[in-house]
Structure 1
């Protein structure tokens, strides 16, 4: 079977309105036989799901304890999983860095939220003490945290940066602001997000605390979600009730990720080569996993069903996510895409057949993490989820 080229059509020439590639449908999709077997991450409690993995192999996720409360766990190969039980409220894992620091989201009994930094030595730092409400979105290897704050004094949301014990609100021109939700920080010190004022919403890059507007077509609003080390910014542009996924290359040239009037465009991750992954479709029932680079945007092959979603991509272009198996499937199953081929990721743990699974993150070594959901003893879908890790093959051979 011939290999499938994912990105083969040149983008249109750059204009002031940005470039807009065609959407490529692979003519000969490759789905490999066999599946990569999972390694269960054994976490105390009734259920668990893994969300992120660092380049050092530290995995973080959420554990549902026997009493029903939710806590963050941290795990590394060769060690037992740690569960953050010193915090008496529900919590979930947002991010982990190379040092093993974990960004934790907490949910307080009064309905407000907080953000914590769980240190490798087990201590916990409160990033925004009450009465502030805080939502953390990104943690970098320098220990900087991008987060959104709400002060009861004005009930506006404001983008902020926490670093080394100092919480700094970013300049939002007297309005409101938000940091991006898909990796708002890079090592150059840039922070991406959105400033909202009387004139609308504008995607910005904060440098040294000062917001700089990204290129915007006339009559449109824009939103920035993530940034890589080259300054490429992932986001959206909204005009005439249509929201389009975009990348601002090096913060300047505007590149549309999908050609034409496609109703739903959701991209979740951007790698260091400017490759973005997500899902595209006109309806929820037609959403397919997609990969976009500087030349074209292409659908990724499914595992046999009509829909799929790509959640993460590493710098080698290995993509992970979920796909349906057939037209009647109600749930997705974990999948990786390696060199254009769909690689099934088995969800079989303790020899039990999975009902639902997904791979949510992948590191540069090809280790993917996610979850497997199984039916409970009564045959229903409850909280029987397991945190898992898959080691993806380094090469994919095709005949």
Structure 2
């Protein structure tokens, strides 16, 4: 049986030459850049820009990794462009703040804002048969996903597969959260999207990762790796294993393993370069797995479902002393569950937990780490 390769390559800093060497080595270990010529000449690089943030915060793909990918493909004769659509902030503003726009300009490539869209049929999707996607992503000959190694409050982990969610323009992401509020259904939707977009290569920035309350409110943590694979699910299996998760507890991994479009399990994956055991970070701070997660899919009366959700599922709490009143969480909330309230001293965010779907978009977008995800229970 031919196995899919996932390359683990050490990279101890974001110094440009070191990153370029690590990215090029990682691609060489899985077959080299020339293998992608069979898909065409036009490649779209898809970095991760959750929101505009300084690269030191470990929220976005680092500019050095983005630049290395550009260089490798341009040197091989490809026509390179990039694109992204953050969930809240405008693409160009966010790309500038994160240092990626300057890199694109330096190399003379387009950084598409994904505002031009098109409807695309998804005949092999399990739960989503049509997507509205960025035209640039659909029309590229192939996509290279360049995610950041981070925890994720909803999916537990975000990587090569989840990064493709950025090909849905802007606020459309919130609509998918509202349509698929349960974690397992949301995972199925992500796999459907990955099947449709079919990235031919994924290069993960795991030099400085985010642990704790990711994908935006956690803490930077040095891991010192570049990870690459031609199969996004294989890469993400290695990613969750590096974090210390049991892959069987990660919904989108198990959903993808059950499809014919990707590797079907660990036996079909070969790790090349460094050995996983030697580079695995110790005591990486993860999002806690909810062991009774599937209970939300049960058929209960509405009053009982609300009770079960309030007891078993963590919910967002808004810290008055940290909230700046920017209102970004209110604007992005797909369930319209948030609003301003006020006391004698200041405005603050108030949540209607009967409407809240526990998508944690408010936590993702908060620039001041004012949202705390925790259970409100007496168990």
TM-score normalised by length of structure 1: 0.26
Structure showing greater radius of gyration is 1
Q: Which one has the bigger strand percentage?
A: 1
Higher-RCO chain (CA-CA 8 Å, sequence separation at least 6):
2
